[in-house]
C-alpha cells in the first residue's frame, strides 16, 4: 500500500506493508502488534491515522473498534475523507454508538456511585466539603444502591428519592460519614430536602437522571440502548463475512446529551469499563478456542487517558489498566493503536510495547528528542526528522512522519522510513488501484 510519498522525494511513493493480525499464510502478520502515532497538535496525526486505518480496513477479516473520546471519528470533522464511507464501500458494516445515547452500561453500583461522586452532587448539593467525608458518603450511597435490586430499571426520580431517604434514615451510615452530631444533623437535613417538589430535588434530579440513564434500558429520548456486552460480542465474532468498523463516541456532542460526559475523569471511568469488558470478552472467546481475534483497537486522545502522569485518579486507574491490556491482549490477537501528542505523555509501559511508531512534526523538546534518540539510535535519521517543517508554516502544507517498525519493506533492517502523507484521498485511491 501507499500512504504517501517518500519525504523530500516529490513523487516517489513509499511502499508500505500493512497487515492484519491473522495468520501469515492468509496475509496476516501472524500476531497482533501495537502502534503509536505521535506529533504535536496540527501535525496531521488524525489525518495520517485515517489513511493508515483506510489501508487496514481493507483487510475485512480484521475487526476495528475506535475508542473516540472527542467524537472526532464519529463526526469525521477535520478528517481528510470519510473513513465511514470508505469502510462501507468495501463491504464492512459500520456501527456508531454513543455512550450518551446508544450504549447501556452494565448495572454496576460502583460506577454510578463514582460518577455521582465526580459531580456537584455530594460537594455542593449535600455540602460535604471535605474529601474523606465525601468518599464515605459515596461509599454509603453505593452500598445502598448495590442493595437495591434492578436499580437500572427503576425510574430515575423514584430511585433518587429512595436512595436519599434510605440514607437519611440510616443513622449508622450517617455516623460513618460524619462523627460530629451537628454535621450529621446537617447532612440528614440536606438529604431530607431532596424530595419531589422541592428546589433541591430539581437540582439533584438534573444531575442524577442523565447519569442513571447511562445504565437504563432506554435513553432520555426514549430510544433503546444496547448493552456493551452485545456490541462487543458483535465486534469480536469471527465469521466469514466482512467484520465491522465500530466507533464508540465518548463525547457529549450528541444533541440533548448531558455535558457530564465532557469531564475527563467521567470519560476515563466509563472508558475503563468498556476496555475491561473488551479485555474480558477477548479472553473468554480466546479460551473457548476461537483462536486469534484479529481485532484492532484504536485509542484516540491517549495523552489524557494513557498518560504517564494522568491528572485525576480515574485516568490514573485507566492508564494502569491499559498497560496491562496492552501486555496481555496481544496473545488473543487484539492489537492497540494509540494516538497521542507527545512520546513522554504516553505511559512508558505502553510505549515500550509498541512495535510500530509513527512520529509527526513537533517532538522537539529536550525530553521528546531524548526519547526519539533512545528509540531510533541512528543520528542521521534523527537529523532528517529534525528537518521537518511545521505544516502550518508552509504552503502547500506537507505532513511528514518518521516511521519505525515492520511497516515498510524499506524498514526491514530496523531503520526508520520517512513518509509525506497524501493530502488527497483520490490520489490515495488511484495510487493503490482502489478506484471505486
Instruction: Decide: is 345 part of the binding site for Mg ion (CB under 5 A).
Output: no
Q: String of b and e for 17-49 (b: at least 16 CB within 10 Å)?
A: ebbbbbeeeeebbebbbbbbbbbbeebbbbbbb
Closer CB to Mg ion, 40 or 354, in the complex: 40
Contact range with Mg ion by CB under 5 A, out of 41-49, 84-92, 172-180, 403-411? 41-49
> Is residue 46 part of the contact set for Mg ion (CB under 5 A)?
yes
Size of the site for ligand ATP (CB under 6 A): 15
Judged by CB under 6 A, does residue 399 bind ligand ATP? yes
Stretch that binds ligand ATP, among 104-112, 183-191, 205-213, 415-423 (CB under 6 A): 415-423
| 252 vs 246: CA distance, rounded Å | 18
Instruction: Please count the residues of the chain.
Output: 436
Q: Site size for Mg ion, by CB under 5 A?
A: 2
Q: Which of 305, 317, 295, 203 is nearest to 246 (CA)?
A: 295
Sites for Mg ion among residues 212-241 (CB under 5 A)? none
Question: Is the Cβ of residue 119 or residue 420 nearer to ligand ATP in the bound state?
Answer: 420
In the numeric block, which cell numbers belong to residue 265?
475523569
The set of cell numbers assigned to 40 is 504535536
With CA atoms as reference, report the closest residue to 76 among 265, 245, 263, 259: 245
Closest CB to Mg ion among residues 46, 315: 46
For the bound state, the minimum distance from the C-beta of residue 42 to ligand ATP, rounded and expressed in Å, comes to 5
Q: Which range in 45-53, 253-261, 264-272, 277-285 contacts ligand ATP by CB under 6 A?
A: 45-53
* Alpha-carbon separation of residue 398 from 27, 42, 71, 383, 433 (angstroms): 32, 11, 25, 18, 23
The CB-of-323 to Mg ion minimum distance in angstroms stands at: 23
Between 48 and 122, CB nearer to ligand ATP:
48
Task: Based on the shown chain and the rule CB under 6 A, indicate whether residue 341 belongs to the binding site for ligand ATP.
Answer: yes
Given 10, 25, 78, 393, the residue binding ligand ATP (CB under 6 A):
78
**Minimum CB–partner distance for residue 65 and Mg ion (Å):** 18
Q: Say if CB 380 and CB 387 are below 8 A apart.
A: no
**Which is closer to Mg ion, CB of 112 or CB of 339?**
339
From the list Mg ion, ligand ATP, none, pick the one residue 215 interacts with, judged by a Cβ distance below 5 to 8 Å according to partner type.
none
Residue 44 touches which of Mg ion, ligand ATP, none (CB < 5 to 8 A by kind)?
ligand ATP
| Cβ-count burial 217-249 (b if 16+ within 10 Å, e if not) | eebeeeeebeebeebbeebbebeeebbbbbbbb
Q: Is 42 in the site for ligand ATP (CB under 6 A)?
A: yes
Q: What is the 8-class DSSP label of residue 343?
A: G
Q: Which of 14, 251, 421, 428 binds ligand ATP (CB under 6 A)?
A: 421
Q: State yes or no: residue 279 binds Mg ion (CB under 5 A).
A: no
In eight-state DSSP terms, residue 259 is G
Q: For residues 114-133, which are near Mg ion according to CB under 5 A?
A: none
Rg (CA), the chain: 24
The three cell numbers of residue 259 are: 455535558
Count CB-CB contacts under 10 A for residue 374.
10
CA distance 386 to 123: 49
Site for ligand ATP, rule CB under 6 A: 39, 41-47, 78, 80, 341, 399, 421-423
Site for Mg ion, rule CB under 5 A: 45-46
Amino acid at each position: 500500500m501507499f500512504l504517501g510519498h517518500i519525504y523530500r522525494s516529490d513523487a516517489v511513493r513509499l511502499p508500505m506493508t500493512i497487515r492484519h493480525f491473522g495468520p501469515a499464510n492468509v496475509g496476516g502478520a501472524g500476531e497482533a502488534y501495537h502502534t503509536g502515532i505521535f506529533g504535536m497538535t496540527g501535525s496531521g496525526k488524525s489525518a495520517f491515522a485515517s489513511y493508515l486505518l483506510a489501508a487496514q480496513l481493507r483487510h475485512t477479516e480484521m475487526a476495528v473498534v475506535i475508542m473516540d473520546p472527542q467524537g472526532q471519528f464519529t463526526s469525521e470533522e477535520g478528517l481528510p475523507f470519510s473513513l465511514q464511507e470508505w469502510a462501507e464501500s468495501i463491504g464492512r458494516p459500520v456501527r456508531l454508538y454513543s455512550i450518551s445515547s446508544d450504549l447501556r452500561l452494565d448495572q454496576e453500583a460502583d460506577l454510578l456511585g463514582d460518577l455521582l461522586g465526580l459531580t456537584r452532587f455530594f460537594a455542593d448539593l449535600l455540602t460535604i466539603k471535605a474529601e474523606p467525608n465525601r468518599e464515605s458518603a459515596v461509599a454509603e450511597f453505593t452500598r445502598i444502591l448495590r442493595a437495591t435490586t434492578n436499580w437500572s430499571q427503576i425510574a430515575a426520580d423514584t430511585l433518587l428519592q429512595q436512595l436519599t431517604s434510605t440514607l437519611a434514615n440510616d443513622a449508622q451510615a450517617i455516623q460513618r460519614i460524619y462523627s460530629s452530631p451537628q454535621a450529621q444533623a446537617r447532612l440528614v437535613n440536606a438529604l431530607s430536602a431532596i424530595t419531589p417538589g422541592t428546589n433541591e430535588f430539581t437540582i439533584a434530579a438534573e444531575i442524577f437522571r442523565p447519569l442513571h440513564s447511562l445504565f437504563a434500558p432506554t435513553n432520555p429520548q426514549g430510544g433503546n440502548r444496547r448493552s456493551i456486552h452485545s456490541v462487543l460480542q458483535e465486534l469480536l465474532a469471527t465469521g466469514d463475512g466482512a467484520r465491522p468498523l465500530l466507533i464508540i463516541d465518548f463525547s457529549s456532542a450528541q444533541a440533548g446529551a448531558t455535558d457530564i460526559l465532557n469531564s475527563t475523569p467521567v470519560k476515563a471511568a466509563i472508558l475503563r469499563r468498556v476496555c475491561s469488558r473488551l479485555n474480558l470478552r477477548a479472553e473468554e472467546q480466546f479460551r473457548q478456542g476461537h483462536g486469534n481475534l484479529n481485532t484492532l483497537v484504536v485509542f484516540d486522545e491517549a495523552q489524557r487517558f494513557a498518560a504517564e502522569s494522568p491528572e485525576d485518579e480515574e485516568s490514573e486507574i485507566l492508564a494502569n489498566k491499559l498497560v496491562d491490556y496492552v501486555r496481555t491482549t496481544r496473545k488473543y490477537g487484539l492489537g492497540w493503536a494509540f494516538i497521542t501528542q507527545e512520546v513522554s505523555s504516553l505511559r512508558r509501559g505502553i510505549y515500550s510495547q509498541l512495535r510500530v511508531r509513527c512520529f509527526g512534526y513537533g517532538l522537539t523538546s529536550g525530553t521528546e528528542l531524548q526519547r526519539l534518540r533512545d528509540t531510533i539510535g541512528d543520528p542521521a535519521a534523527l537529523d532528517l526528522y529534525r528537518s521537518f517543517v511545521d505544516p502550518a508554516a508552509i504552503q502547500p502544507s506537507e505532513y511528514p512522519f518518521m516511521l519505525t517498525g515492520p511497516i515498510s519493506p524499506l524498514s526491514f533492517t530496523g531503520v526508520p522510513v520517512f513518509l509525506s502523507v497524501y493530502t488527497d484521498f483520490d490520489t490515495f485511491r488511484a495510487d493503490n488501484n482502489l478506484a471505486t
